[in-house]
Chain A
Amino acid sequence: MTTVSAQTSFDRPRAHERGQVALRAEGVHIHYWLERDRSAFLAVDGIDVEIAEGEFVVIVGPSGCGKTTFLDAVGGLHAISSGKLELYGEPIRKPGPDRAIVFQQPSLFPWQTVRGNVGYGLRLAGKRSKAEIAQIVDRHVELVGLAKFGNAYPGELSGGMQQRANLARALAADPQMLLLDEPFSALDAQTRDVMQEELLRIWSVSRKTALFITHDIKEAVFLADRVLVMSARPGRIAEIIPIDIPRPRTGEVKRSAAFLEYEERIQRLLEATR
């Protein structure tokens, strides 16, 4: 192995880290074009990280720190300027069926039912028969608790239910890696708590490698195996914090001393990097 970031050395060896590396980022820099200023803006200024297979990693940071840009790059929606970004050793160049994104906005296709939306990735891939797709769709619609709403249109669902459908759509495509871009930030506080627990329940079934973006510290600590704390301008990883709270976790965990300690530590880090 070459220069793996010094930061990862903070980690104690963990069960899942003995597994294969799924995502590897080395010195990733990402620019995007600001038409207003007619100039290129450096959004991500050197990210080094390795995410193991089956690991749940959360990136937390202030808005504008480049966390979404990084996730877009992993999704293949945004090209990196320099460095290495590889999924199972293969450089990421464009979107593919090996990654699926759960977006922040309600990005379900409004003209399709929940089942239609959930089957979208599978229909695009065109590798399975209709009957197979229907079966996979049913399984995922049930997994996210929308069995009764399979034939409803997104416009008929609440925000939380829409995000359940979004999650099912991503999982049904059977990606190697699940990318979640602040999926619960538009939900009210109670629904968000419910959805976080639901996400962990669903994730524990599939154990997909997950990269989750948020600005909510509680959410980050609750979900993550490791939290990557990012600083803004330049967009860099300030610290990587492994979360040693045993799974399965329930809402109860959020009141534990260990949890509050993590929360405070990350809070301080974010304040320090401002």
Chain B
Amino acid sequence: MTAGAIDPSGTRAEAAATPARVPGQPTRFQRSQSWVLGTVAVVIVLAIWEVATTVLQLMPGFILPAPSTIASRIAGLVVSGDFWHDMAVSGQEFAVGFGIAIVVGLLLGLFMGWFQPIQYLVDPFVNFLNSTPRIALAPLFIIWFGIGIWSKVAIVFFGAVFPVLITTISGVKNLDRSLLRAGRAFGANNAQLFTTVALPGAVPYILSGLRLGIAHALTGVVVGEFIAANAGVGLLMVRAAQTYDTATVFAGVVIVAALGLLLTALLAALERRFQAWKPTGP
């Protein structure tokens, strides 16, 4: 073999030919493995489910409807006007409640993390409320705010604010001391230290708080509407359940899950935007 051989003068006769595959280089299948295997698994489970319910009829439809029935129910909902009203109401509850939770959680968290005495003042309340199962407060919110959207906004807010608040506090608390020292050494005053070191340093924590918050907020919307509401996807589901319209209940589950996935994907995009600086690991 001549390629890559070293000639007597000590220089390479010609560049070594790159082999078709280098150790460590993933095959095309390995690259798309997670995607392909995930899809295959879902398709297989859906197929078994479909066969078991429609062909073998192992279970009555009001216990476990077929995937095809659920799909056609979703299609039916999507073309109906009522459904979009429910979506709009649930969407508002989510957006307003989660929005307020982000603003309050972030601001309070940054202040509590930065100014120790403020944390000492607020900590007892945070600890108490955070260890209460927040959904237990739902009846109270319905008494206070009625069965319109505001009781659900309150439930969503209380569900989502603590994850955001607590992760923001730990983001500020766990700042790299050496970076704070560097900032101070370059003459940063407290306000500058806060904006140039504390805030960007806490971003990864804040983002994971938002991720947790989304899950809590979605739970808040649906469960809040189960308890008392005059519109919304949760109400749609609880009404369907009362009439054994199990396919519609499943349709609601699928829609809420899809929204959760969508929001998490949006957050992931935001994370990539903010964490371009994170060295990419394996």
Contacts and interface: CB of A to CB of B under 8 A. Distances in A.
A156 B187 CA distance: 27
B185 A95 contact: yes
Nearest to B184: A95
Given A111-B203, A153-B279, A173 B186 contact: yes
B27 interface: no
Main secondary structure of the interface of B (DSSP, over half): helix
Given A95-B184, A95-B185, A95-B186, A153 B277 contact: yes
Interface stretch (B61-69, B103-111, B165-173, B194-202): B194-202
A155 B186 contact: no
A103 B178 contact: yes
Contacts of B276: 153
Contacts, number: 65
B181 interface: yes
Nearest to A125: B187
B186 A120 contact: yes
Contact of A107 (B179, B200, B278, B279): B179
Contacts of B179: 107, 109
B2 to A, nearest CB: 35
Interface residues of B, number: 21
Contacts of A107: 176, 178-179, 181-182
Interface residues of A, number: 29
Q: Which DSSP category, helix, strand, loop or mixed, fits chain A's interface? A: loop
Contacts of A99: 185
A110 interface: yes
Contacts of A154: 277
A124 B192 contact: yes
Interface of A: 75-77, 95-97, 99-101, 103, 105-113, 120-121, 124-125, 153-156, 169, 173
Given A97-B187, A105-B178, A112-B200, 13 more contacts: A77-B185, A95-B184, A96-B187, A103-B185, A106-B178, A107-B181, A109-B196, A110-B277, A110-B278, A120-B183, A120-B196, A124-B188, A153-B279
Shortest 6 CB-CB contacts between residues of A and residues of B: A155-B279, A107-B182, A153-B277, A101-B185, A107-B178, A121-B186
